[in-house]
Amino acid sequence: MATELRLFFGSMGDQVAVSLVPEAYFARYGERLFYTSELIWVFKHNPFIDLKQAEDGDTQIVAVPDSRYVADIEKYVSRFNGPMFGSQSELVLNSLDLDLPKTRHPRLYVYEDVDIVPHKVVGHTTGSNPALQGEEAIRSQLGEDEVRVMSDDVLAAIARNYKDWMIVQVGAADDKPIADRNVIDRRGRPV
């Protein structure tokens, strides 16, 4: 019997937000999780999770990489005495009663031995624009009144504040671009 990690959403940012779950689960229970879809690329090099088909008797945990669920937010607030999330990954881990592993950032494992490049920043400036699919604002019950796209002011601030840095933009193909001639555009491409 094994435990499957199911993702509620599957876009790039959602996958990255749950990248810490297998390591945190292993640290807590000493067991490796598994996933069943090859489309979930974020786990490809993760040593704490396997790709396999589910079998009778397997159990599931479901990771919801979003803050639209009031119960998850209230659980986080009660633990950390405030609604300011350290990261989306931290919110997901807390909702699953898991602790942060030794790192606070998402982990893809494949790049961990790559040299650090000074003055390089990687930016994921939003998820896809739900309005393009005719969806409404997903957090309207929490006061959100527009779709989840990065504002032009924030994009301009990124270009201005990191003008002398190498900027790599990742995300969905329809994310707004960072308007700067020095940006390496990786939107819509695998990491």
Task: Return the SS3 of 80.
Answer: helix
147 and 131 Cβ atoms separated by less than 8 Å: yes
The pTM score is 0.67
Strand order in the sheet with 49-51: 49-51, 33-35, 3-7, 59-63
Q: How are strands ordered across the β-sheet holding 183-185? A: 120-124, 166-170, 183-185
pLDDT attached to residue 68? 66
**What pLDDT does residue 104 have?**
58
Please give the pLDDT value at position 27.
93
Length of the chain in terms of residues written: 191
Q: Going from the first residue of the chain to its last (191 residues), give the mean pLDDT of each consecutive group of 10, the final group possibly shorter.
A: 86 82 94 93 92 95 77 73 70 84 70 79 71 57 54 85 89 80 83 60
